Amino acid sequence: MADEIQIEEMLEYIWILDENNDKADSTRMNDKFGKEPTDGYLKAMVEQKLINLRDSNITFTESGKERAKLIIRRHRIAERLLNDVLEMRGDEFERGACQFEHFVNEEIIASICTLLGHPSVCPHGNKIPQGECCLSAKKNLEPVISPLSIIKAGKTVKVVYISTKSHASLDRLSGIGVIPGLELTIHQKFPSMILQYGETQLALDNDIAKNVFVRIIQS
């Protein structure tokens, strides 16, 4: 029986190639995983109806794409957990995420996703595929990480990540010192949000605050 972990690694790689609009073919797979093992795994993946292999070109079947999506989701949720909550970095961070993706079931992933506030991107900025928990309006667990815009006045928080594609917003936030790792206190919410860190106070628009994700460190 083919090594299922290796098959998952290869499905993940095919997904990433597709995501980056790169061509998935046997040559790329050979370069990544080695020719001899790749040939056997590709054959097994065809037999399991996970991929189509025509000439050297590789495409997902519907079941293969769904399985790859779940693997990617587990990996990127793991990255958010290790980065945002456990504050792991470097080789330990990458190794932990790779191990995590193969051994955690979807129920646990849904709980972690909810605790993290249903993040849309991983720490590298890559999209996290949504799960059923993201699509549901029900929140069974209180998120550990939430948008700054919904945090009550008087709370002290730590900026975990910023999720916006607006360069203007990123430039403004970095220009005033609001970057991951910053600890600040919400001085007031209305009529405008006033934040304080150290001796500095600043006002922040709600439209920008909703893209700043924070963790409460003092109630």
Q: How many CB atoms lie within 10 A of CB 31?
A: 10
Q: Which amino acid does the sequence have at 60?
A: F
**Contact predicate 182/158, CB 8 Å:** yes
The H-or-E segment that residue 147 falls in is: strand 145-147
Query: What stretches of the chain show up as alpha helix (H) in DSSP?
Result: 4-19, 26-33, 35-47, 62-80, 90-103, 106-115, 132-135, 167-175, 206-209
pLDDT tens, residue by residue, 176-213: 888 888 999 999 888 789 999 888 888 888 888 888 88
For 159, 169, 211, the CA distances from 166, given in Å and listed in that order, are 18, 5, 10
pLDDT tens, residue by residue, 72-123: 999 999 998 888 877 777 777 778 888 888 888 888 899 889 888 888 899 8
Whether the pTM exceeds 0.75: the reply is no
**Contact predicate 41/2, CB 8 Å:** yes
Q: Cis link prior to 37 (omega < 30° from 0)?
A: no
Residue 139: pLDDT band (50, 70, 90) is: low
Q: Is the pLDDT of residue 19 over 90?
A: yes
Of 54, 25, 21, 23, the C-alpha closest to 38 is: 25
Q: Cis link prior to 191 (omega < 30° from 0)?
A: yes
Selected from 2.30.30.90, 1.10.10.10, 2.30.42.10, 1.10.540.10, the CATH number assigned to the domain covering 145-218 reads 2.30.30.90
Q: How many CB atoms lie within 10 A of CB 154?
A: 12
Give the largest Cα separation in the chain, rounded: 65
Selected from 1.10.287.950, 3.90.230.10, 1.20.1050.10, 1.10.10.10, the CATH number assigned to the domain covering 66-135 reads 1.10.10.10
Rounded CA-CA distance 50/46 in Å is 6
Q: How many CB atoms lie within 10 A of CB 164?
A: 14
Q: Domain extents for the chain?
A: 4-60, 66-135, 145-218
Rounded CA-CA distance 217/219 in Å is 7
